[in-house]
Amino acid sequence: MSKKATTIRSRRKRALAIAAGAVAAVGVGVLAAGVGTIIAGMLRDAFRAQRAVDDGPDDLLGVPSDPPRRMTVETTGGARLNVEWYGPDDTDHDVVVMVHGWTCNTAYWYPQINHLAGHRPVVAYDQRGHGKSELGRVRPTVAMLGQDLNRVLDAVVPAGRRAILVGHSMGGMTIMSWAAQNADEVSSRVSSVVLTSTAATAVLQNHLLIPVGLPRYTKPFEATVGKLVTSTPIPVPHIDGATWLSHYIALGSQARKAHVDFVDNMITACPPRSRAGWGSAMGKLDVTAGLDALRVPTTVVVGTEDRLTPPAHAEQMAEVLRRNGALRDLVIMENVGHMASIEADVRYNELLDEVLAETARPEPAGSTARS
């Protein structure tokens, strides 16, 4: 090849490299513009939203006066889970097992523990990587949630008794994951289920965090924003007096300040690696087989202002349960966000009282779940 031809070829390669770099730069710029516009819109709406009502403390959020009996349960990958037993252990009652959601911990259930533990056995445990539980060495998966719950049930439910499973958000997904892997044992090990602010599938595809009215060019970047928010292991600082973002994301517009502050403290305390790992795992959520396996009375609860798992999820789950004869009730709470059992703790506790009263008495032969 002549020297001239070599020079021409070299120039062409350099031109192509420059063009490719320019295209890549444009692509990055478009991505940054789209993602930035969405995030800016979310922050704008959060900052402008109605502030929480400061009407004093909520006594139900206090640390339970009687400390729990603690135990450690080892599960998949060598992770050790913190399990807490409240209330009596010498009764014939079914054991209430409460499973918290993403970025929370056992304190999430204080309003229910304070209400129930004086007369019912109540167990709460920190999900893997949350609270006092270890994350372990294995990459988090939705199946692992159900496996962890199975180990806890083995440890806390005595022979001859059953559990009443109460799950919030990722905790509801945990229950459905467990049911999918133990379908033949659901009726023998569980007497009733309460699924709160949760979903069986497509949770990251159907949230309502993205503001309406954004420019059309941002639409292709909504999924990217969802992944960034849920799966990026960066610390979330707790700043006194600046809880408006947690309020916007997790609670309803009329939430009390005591509830917003309590939730913000939990969210910011969650380790970034755990938050990101479980956020990524939920991106692949599909526990519809577990929902179908719940052939025991199941109550579905959702708030009308739930941005993370909107009412459409609850309605879809309720329809599956209704077809299977397992829907006890679909409870839709007005003006309540994602943290339903905190925001509406008194109403939620009354609902639990109804569920517990029904499981305490034998069902007539041939009875079916209420729909």
pLDDT score for 44: 73
Decide: 111 and 100 in contact? Cβ < 8 Å: no
Euclidean distance between CA atoms 229 and 222, whole angstroms: 11
pTM for this entry: 0.86
Domains of the chain: 59-203+277-359 (3.40.50.1820)
Return the H-helix or E-strand segment holding 298: strand 298-303
pLDDT score for 33: 67
Euclidean distance between CA atoms 65 and 62, whole angstroms: 8
Contacts of 72 (CB under 8 A, 6+ apart): 80, 81, 82, 83
Q: What is the mean pLDDT of each run of 10 residues along the chain (371 residues)?
A: 58 46 37 66 71 93 96 93 93 93 97 96 97 94 97 95 97 98 97 98 79 72 68 68 84 96 95 93 94 98 96 98 98 98 98 93 45 34
What single-letter amino acid sits at 296? V
Q: What is the maximum alpha-carbon separation in the chain?
A: 96
DSSP assignment letter at 328: E
pLDDT score for 237: 66
Nearest partner of 105 among 126, 123, 133, judged by Cα: 126
Euclidean distance between CA atoms 282 and 195, whole angstroms: 17
pLDDT score for 226: 64
pLDDT score for 306: 96
What single-letter amino acid sits at 343? E
Return the H-helix or E-strand segment holding 316: helix 311-323
